[in-house]
Structure 1
Amino acid sequence: MLQIQNLVFDAWGRRFFDGASVNLPKDAKVGLVGRNGVGKSTLFKLIFGQLVPGSGEISLPKAARIGSVDQEHPATPVPLLDTVLAADVERASLLARLEAASPEEMGDIYSRLIEIDADRAPSRAAEILAGLGFTNADLTRPMAEFSGGWRMRVALAAALFAEPDMLMLDEPTNYLDLEGALWLEARLKKYPHTVMVISHDRELLNNSVDHILHLKDGKLELYPGGYDNFEHQLTEKLRLQESTRVKIEARRAHLQSFVDRFRAKASKATQAQSRLKMIAKLPPVAAVVEERVAPFLLPSPERPLPPPLLRLEEAAVGYGGAPILKKLNLRLDLDDRIGLLGVNGAGKSTFAKLVAGALDVETGKLHRSGRLQVGWFHQHQIEAMDPTDTPLEIIRRALPEETEAKRRSRLAQFGFSHDKVETKVGSLSGGERARLLLNLVAMEAPHLLILDEPTNHLDIDSRRALLDALNDYEGAVILITHDRSLMELVADRLWLAADGTITPFDGDMEDYARFVLDRARVAARAPTQVREEASPPPATPPAAAKPKAPTGPARRRAEAAEAALAKASETLAAIDKALLAPDLFSKDPQKAAELGRRREAAQAAVEAAELEWIDAQEAYEAVRA
């Protein structure tokens, strides 16, 4: 579908592509991945012709239609449904021609309308809009009544409805809630043509694409399968590369040793010259250099507070008019990891403000520990940052009593090199701004972290670093995110915001994903066919049903046990390999004896790890059942 040959592109003082080549299969679903700033969005602009390559060629089939979501849809007086229907340019043109067509032309126009299934277009558009969170009542509302975030969804709906031959999406889940992300994940999987999507959403890359296109060091390489498969292939490739490099360097050193010894001897000069030629022919193999990701610093509270951290009794909260949330009866303890679910507009951010102390309860009671410290991260903080500020100036205000050296040291711990600490915020990437704010809100070791969409600008490796930091953090967490993988691996309990309140959700993320997709299928029916909106799941299961226990802790224990077993097995294998050295026992009996003792300890560690893994796996399976 897409062919890129020897692409070279330089801009802004750096080289983005250096002889990059790739061929994308027709109708492939491709995830474009790479570290923040390597040039993924630049590649999109090159494909669209918005940038001109220095050399090389980018080619697509003739008459191929390319679609994307570049910006939010304009705030026009046109109704929502008509706006999306207009994205099918051919259908709109045929209908316009029909009004003034002669009788002879009408037959051809109607034939083409039937061929493109034009009659089903309104229901197809309504189905897409329902999946992205719009209600049947929204279909007739003018575009001017929707906020910017919702108009971004309209632009995405229009691109999906038009079904171009190649659909290109740049971080489409960043402006979707979890429910919209789950629906999009299923939709992209069955998209009838080629898709290329830039995403750091691991679940989407595992469940929706069949190829991963990796951009690194100006090169493009295509891997079959989802993201997990790509990671496995890349790890194996780097392992083989390093093994090959070691062998070639050993061969080079051996040949060079001969040359150094006998170059001066006339009788060996010919052989020395021959070996110099052999050295010159050895292929260069670059050493594998791991790209370091700075960890997130989320210090745990020094003095735990007695439970509960806070308790709500029949509480209601709002902004002066009708309450946004009411009948809140919830309790939060220091070891709670809460995943807050619900569509946009259901009150999740309002609840975060209430817990953070930015809103007071209007009725009911809120019991809060007097010593409770809260760290609150939300997207508006990133948007509100002064573009002329620098990380150093920001941390000066946050740490007025510290020395300049300690401030710079703290920024280095956050992952900011010396050339970044005085860079203007407007010149920092979204990921760098998010990293700075996440570390700042947690700097005082709060008892509770409220994270509202913390991963929007983070690449996959940074998301993993955040996951590791959250799992090491010993305070309470309330997490609002469309990143399903992060939600599954952090949250131990789920709360659902729906129908003007928040209640515990009985089930795990798989249950919630099924519920969301079932609700979208019901809402996608034509308005005349929908008898009632899908209701949220009951707060308590029916009497005959057995409530599901949260699987988060059991899953994490099983994963940790598996990793420990793998590490212990690797240690044992390394010792066994060392013991196989033919001259070990004759040349170094003391080392042989030490290796024997270490092997006994390693074998015991493997056996203990196996027992823990079996126990953890059985516990996890029991919880899932």
Structure 2
Amino acid sequence: MIPAGHKVGLVGPNGAGKTTLFRLIRGELTLDGGEITLPERARIGGVAQEAPASDVSLIETVLAADTERAALMAEAETATDGHRIAEVQTRLADIDAWSAEGRAAAILKGLGFDEAAQKRPCSDFSGGWRMRVALAGVLFAQPDVLLLDEPTNYLDLEGALWLETYLTRYPHTVIVISHDRGLLNRAVGAILHLEARQLTLYQGGYDTFARTRAERRAVQAAAAKKQEERKAHLQSFVDRFRAKASKAKQAQARLKMIARMDTITAPEDAAKRVFTFPQPDQLSPPIVALEGGATGYGDHVVLKKLDLRIDQDDRIALLGRNGQGKSTLSKLLADRLPLIEGRMTRSSKLRIGYFAQHQVDELHLDESPLQHLQRERPDTPPAKLRARLAGFGLMAEQADTEVGRLSGGQKARLSLLLATLDAPHMLILDEPTNHLDIESREALVEALTEYSGAVILVSHDMHLLSLVADRLWLVKDGSVRPYDDDLEAYRNMLLTQEKPAKSEKQEKARAAAPKPAKPSRDAILALRAEARKCEARVEKIEEMRAKLATKLADPALYEDTRAGELDTWNKKYAEVMEGLHRAEALWEAALEKLEAAETA
């Protein structure tokens, strides 16, 4: 039983049936037994696929996701019946339709789209970005039951943190499948665990769930052990005295006691998720040094004035908003982008391993993992290659399975294996945890902790970053510089949209700085247009009110035989007046914004 309005994280081993459960809730599959009960007329929403690559702008695509609003807006333009117009306007006011564009823009911004990007067509963006648009659409539509399946897989750190905060304020029920420990600790109030076709609800976030479940498993294991000892004791009596006539009845009694016992099954240990990174030989520091470097794509410079040093024992996390250049820096360090200017020195024996999500998509779907390794190591015996695969959790069955039939997590493991095949001195990981379950992420943390090479890490998983990284670099405004605070401070800065604390000297300089400039002419024109739109809306509803007032002034309406009709007209008048009051409030707010801008 999940109460309305609660936020729940759905967790369980890969293949346990989490996505199947979502399909059952949506009615795409039918139950073999039992039932799923939902509130009457509840709207169920989720992200089934990416937004289409159409010529429609991002903002219009998101606005269209609220189908009720879109239909009402279209009807408002064509309706001619006064009563229906009043109903439409009232409903539009009820669903706060007039602020819709601002709400849609705020969601898109939180997911990484600036104002200019929001006006571009969906076809300008890749599949991963259109998944963000689809997510924005379902968040904007605000279904009564929101189902999200690994929503952070196509978000960066900033987008994932924004989503966490948004979900905590979401006004309806949320069920989210996720392996992001931070999201499961901060954005939900309960964990629904699916294992062995059984659902168990635990109150609290993921850490609380993990502790509670571990305690229950320990109690269950202890009880199973005691029961086995008791059975063994009873059975030993039976074995000793069954043949003796004087003890036969007691032996039979003990056999019955064993048969009546409800067997307590010891919990099975989860299959150990492993990564085994080969250890590189040691190089003299630094292994990479950049002086006055710049890089980018073609003539477009993305990063410049790069003065960086990397040693083999470094664990560096790259921070920065989407589009600032984290992946660009990763590609430069991986020798996949040229240095446009400046100087880069590398150790002559330096080997680099590079993992990025697009590499998972470039695997050969018709070949097995073993065949992938045989292409890279044609002279190595298959037995040794199978051992390497097992070291990354790809056992005999997966080793011979076509990649196209493997899970997303298994494909990621294969890509990580290929990236580390040469025992690299520096491992560059760009979003390595996508499609990895929580146990696999913990195994990755262990492997990186034991790994003796340098690690450059880009990830939206703050739990991973906090356990692996000991240095932070902030990629911002075309440059890269050390971030001296910790991850929690960076998270708070992102959530509050505030800059790091300034020194007293900086504060005085800020106070003495010129006041913010007046709003631009374009901004003022936009506010004037909004005020005129609100005024026109008020005038349209006022016309309907006047017509209804004339009708209500007709003496014939008050004859006894028409009392029922009078009630209908009075109800319509009340609805129109309510709509008029809301429209006037919106008009007043628009005028206040315009006045503030013009007097600034």
Post-superposition CA distance 1:364-386 (Å, at most 9, x none): 11122211111111111110011
User: Partners in 1 of 2:392 and 2:109 — Cα distance?
Assistant: 41
The structure with more helix, counted as a fraction of residues: 2
Q: Which residue in 2 is equivalent to 1:121?
A: 100
Given candidates 148, 160, 170, the residue that maps to 1:169 is: 148
Code of the aligned partner of 1:419: E
1 CA distance for matches of 2:148 and 2:286? 44
CA shift, 1:543, in A, is 6.8
Aligned to 1:97: 75
| 1:404 pairs with 2:377 | no
Consecutive unaligned residues of structure 2, counting only runs of 5 or more, are 507-600
**Unpaired segments ≥5 residues, structure 1:** 1-22, 520-533, 546-625
Q: Does 1:253 align with 2:268?
A: no
Q: Distance in 1 between matches of 2:29 and 2:505?
A: 62
Matched ranges for 1:393-432 at <5 A: 393-432=371-410
Question: Which residue of the partner structure matches residue 270 of structure 1?
Answer: 249
TM superposition score normalised by structure 1: 0.78
Q: Does 1:230 align with 2:221?
A: no
Q: How many Å separate the matches in 1 of 2:120 and 2:355?
A: 33
Q: CA deviation at 1:471?
A: 0.9
Deviation at 1:408, TM superposition (A): 2.0
Once residues 123 and 400 of structure 2 are traced to their aligned partners in structure 1, the CA distance between those partners, rounded to angstroms, is 40
Q: How does 1:181-260 map to 2 (within 5 A)?
A: 181-260=160-239
Match of 2:354 among 359, 376, 380: 376
Aligned pairs for 1:25-424 (under 5 A) are: 25-99=3-77, 100-302=79-281, 304-424=282-402
Matches of 1:149 and 1:391, distance apart in 2? 25
For the residue of structure 2 that corresponds to 1:318, the secondary structure is strand
Give the partner amino acid of 1:24.
I
Q: 2:389–2:417: 8 Å Cα contact kept in structure 1?
A: no
Deviation at 1:544, TM superposition (A): 6.1
Question: SS at 1:270's partner residue?
Answer: helix
**Residues 166 and 194, structure 1, Cα contact 8 Å, conserved in 2:** yes
1:433-459 CA distances to partner (integer Å, 9 max, x unpaired)?
Answer: 111221232232211110011100110
What is the alpha-carbon distance in structure 1 between the residues aligned to residue 327 and residue 334 of structure 2? 10
SS at match of 1:27: coil
The answer (yes or no) to whether the contact 2:351–2:426 under 8 Å persists in 1 is yes
1:566 alignment partner in structure 2: none
Deviations 1:103-122 (A, max 9, x none): 22222222222222222222
2:398 aligned counterpart, secondary structure: coil
Q: Residue 324 of structure 1: SS of its match in structure 2?
A: strand
In 2, the alpha carbon distance for the partners of 1:142 and 1:373 equals 41
Q: State the alpha-carbon separation in 2 of the partners of residues 339 and 251 from structure 1.
A: 54
Spell out, residue by residue over 1:290-341, the C-alpha distance to the aligned partner (whole angstroms, 9 max, x if none): 1122321122322x22221111111111222121211111111112111011
Residue 542 of structure 1: how far off its partner (Å): 4.0
Whichever residue aligns with residue 306 of structure 1, its letter is S
Q: Is the 8 Å Cα contact of residues 294 and 413 (structure 1) preserved in structure 2?
A: no
Residue by residue over 1:363-416, the C-alpha shift from the partner in whole angstroms, topping out at 9 and shown as x without a partner, is 111122211111111111110011111111111122222222222222222222
Partner of 2:540: none
Q: CA deviation at 1:42?
A: 1.6
Q: CA deviation at 1:258?
A: 2.8
The structure with the largest alpha-carbon Rg is: 2
Distance in 2 between the 1:283 and 1:101 partners? 72
Give 3-state SS (helix, strand or coil) of 2:300's partner: coil
2:186, 2:433 → 1: CA distance? 19
Match of 2:439 in 1: 461
Give 2:477's aligned residue.
499
- Structure-2 residue corresponding to 1:439: 417
Q: 1:362 Cα shift?
A: 1.0
Query: Is 1:451 aligned to residue 429 of structure 2?
Result: yes
How many equivalent residue pairs? 505
Q: Which residue of 2 aligns with 1:16?
A: none
* Distance in 1 between residues matched to 2:424 and 2:56, nearest whole Å: 48
For normalisation by structure 2, the TM-score amounts to 0.81
CA-to-aligned-CA distance 1:486-520 (integer Å, 9 cap, x gap): 1111111111222122222221111211222233x
Pairwise CA RMSD of aligned residues? 1.8
- 2-side partners of 1:384 and 1:514: how far apart? 36
Q: Distance in 2 between matches of 1:148 and 1:404?
A: 37
SS at match of 1:327: strand
User: How far apart are the structure 2 equivalents of 1:353 and 1:144?
Assistant: 25
Given that residues 158 and 321 in structure 2 are in contact (C-alpha distance below 8 angstroms), is that contact kept between their aligned partners in structure 1? yes
Question: How much has 1:213 moved relative to structure 2?
Answer: 1.1
Q: How far 1:260 moved relative to its partner?
A: 2.7
Q: Distance in 2 between matches of 1:101 and 1:208?
A: 46
**SS class of match (2:36):** strand
Distance 2:436 2:80 in 1: 53
C-alpha distance in 1, partners of 2:80/2:229? 79
Task: Give the Cα separation in 1 of the matches to 2:38 and 2:112.
Answer: 34
The residue number in structure 2 matching 1:518 is 496
Deviation per residue, 1:258-282 (Å, 9 max, x gap): 3333333444333333322221111
**Greater alpha carbon shift after TM alignment, 270-279 vs 501-510:** 270-279
Corresponding residue number in structure 1 for 2:529? none
| Separation in structure 2 between the aligned mates of residue 283 and residue 309 of structure 1, nearest angstrom | 63
**Cα distance in 2 between the residues matched to 1:334 and 1:250:** 53
1:482-561 alignment, distance < 5 Å: 482-519=460-497, 542=503
Task: State the distance in 1 between where 2:83 and 2:271 align.
Answer: 68
Partner letter of residue 213 of structure 2? Answer: L
- Residue type of the alignment partner of 1:466: L
Q: Does structure 2 retain, via aligned residues, the 8 Å contact 1:297–1:443?
A: no
Contact 1:337 1:490 in 2 (8 A): yes
8 A Cα contact 2:289 2:307, kept in partner:
yes
SS in 2 for 1:113: helix
Deviation by residue 1:523-562 (Cα, 9 ceiling, x = unmatched): xxxxxxxxxxx8x769xx64769xxxxxxxxxxxxxxxxx
Quickly say closer, same or farther: Cα 1:544–1:230, change in 2 above 3 A.
farther
Q: How far, CA to CA, are the matches of 1:139 and 1:351 in structure 2? A: 26
* SS of corresponding position for 1:56: coil
Identity of aligned residues (%): 55
Q: Return the letter of the residue paired with 1:256.
A: Q
What code does the residue aligned with 1:179 have?
E
| SS of equivalent residue, structure 1 residue 323 | strand
Alignment deviations for residues 147-178 of structure 1 (CA, whole Å, 9 cap, x no partner): 32221111111111111111001110011111
Give the whole-Å Cα distance in 1 for the aligned partners of 2:137 and 2:270: 38
